[in-house]
Amino acid sequence: MKRTITHLADGRELFYFDRDDAADRGAIDGRDLPSRPPASELRYDPLTEEWIAVAGHRQGRTFLPPASECPLCPSTPGHPTEIPSGAYEVAVFENRFPSFSSQTGDYSQVGGLSEVRPGVGRCEVVCFTSDHDSSFSRLSADQVDLVMEAWIDRTAELSATPGVEQVFCFENRGAEIGITLTHPHGQIYAYPYVTPRTRLSLGAAERHRERTGGNLFADVLAAEREAEVRVVASNEHWTAFVPAAARWPVEVHLYPHRQIPDLCALEAAERAAFGPLYTDVLRRLDGLFGVAMPYVAAWQQAPANVGRDLSYAHLELFSIRRAPDKLKYLAGSEAAMGAFVNDVLPEETARLLRSVVTE
């Protein structure tokens, strides 16, 4: 795998990942771009003990442009994009409209009990393929391997960045989810704090270890593999299952069979085994209702500096589609109180996904 680092016209970093060591990535970004915006404000909510990023500059970000104006496609004469090269395999660049960045500005306190500090961190965009009309489910095994190499590279580098506490790789897919660009891509957030979801999970894992001496995530995986009823698919190194307490009408978790803190710890065989299973699961999602499934795919990884012995890296995939013509919206109980109600039995979701023919 060849990694090439270059810069866009406003100074943002761009990384090309190629299987061919001879790939030429010398194209220059000749656009006249405005200065990069300052990092967001982080405001502390004392009622929930959470940090909220306030990033007003994101209001002006690109929103669902036509394919002819896609900023993630390779550049062509007369249409320069975020990818200066006329072709690429996998490309990663700093987000032009980031929630977190190293570009600090002036921040004043807002009064009350809310502390304010710079939203220092980093946000990157991961282009899975140059094919605008493709999807992750249609990537070849070799292409998924290259995406995995990009995730691992960026996780390692960002985790070692001063001030970064957690690295989160994810994909939002589908207009129903609220995407702003349709080109197959994901994002990486390097947070300056440990996220609320991770803090909750690590707390539960610590209490489980105190009670049982075991790892909570490993024990969940072992129980699901033994029960079998919610397992969707598996191979030698990975198992995909619908969690027993699924919040979403379609929800699948993919676990490696070995406890690791983050993607960087995956062995070569585990990396190679991920792609075929994951793309199979994605095709099952698309076949479930006969329409392209909107989803969020979220890598749960250990924080950079705490809880690494408790963590167990895995992928959580969920969709808000509950029927061919129905979406699940957060109701009052869920949006206001975080108390979820799932209208679909997890065992039935697993059965339906297993029944989808993907070949």
Cα distances from 37 to residues 12, 78, 105, 119, 270, in angstroms, run 11, 26, 9, 12, 39
Cα distances from 257 to residues 31, 235, 237, 260, 293, in angstroms, run 47, 10, 5, 9, 27
Residues comprising the binding site for Zn(2+)?
Answer: 70, 73, 132, 183
In the chain, where are the structural domains located? 2-193, 214-355
Which CATH architecture group holds 2-193? 2-Layer Sandwich (3.30)
2-193 and 214-355 in the same fold: yes
Burial class of residue 14 (count of CB atoms within 10 Å of its CB; 0-12, 13-18, 19+) = buried
pTM, to two decimals:
0.97
pLDDT of residue 11: 97
pLDDT, block means (10 residues), the chain with 359 residues: 97 97 96 93 95 90 93 96 98 96 85 90 98 98 98 98 97 95 98 98 98 98 98 98 98 98 98 98 97 97 98 98 94 95 96 93
pLDDT of residue 110: 82
pLDDT of residue 280: 98
Q: What is d(CA 179, CA 36) in angstroms, rounded to the nearest whole number?
A: 22
The CATH number corresponding to 214-355 among 3.30.428.10, 3.40.605.10, 2.40.30.270, 3.40.50.720 equals 3.30.428.10
254 closest CA partner among 284, 222, 232: 232
Residues comprising the binding site?
Answer: 70, 73, 132, 183
What does the radius of gyration of the chain's CA atoms come to, in whole angstroms? 21
Helix or strand (DSSP H, E) at 254: strand 250-256
Active-site positions? Answer: 185
> Cβ neighbours of residue 1 under 8 Å, at least 6 residues apart?
17, 18, 19, 146, 149
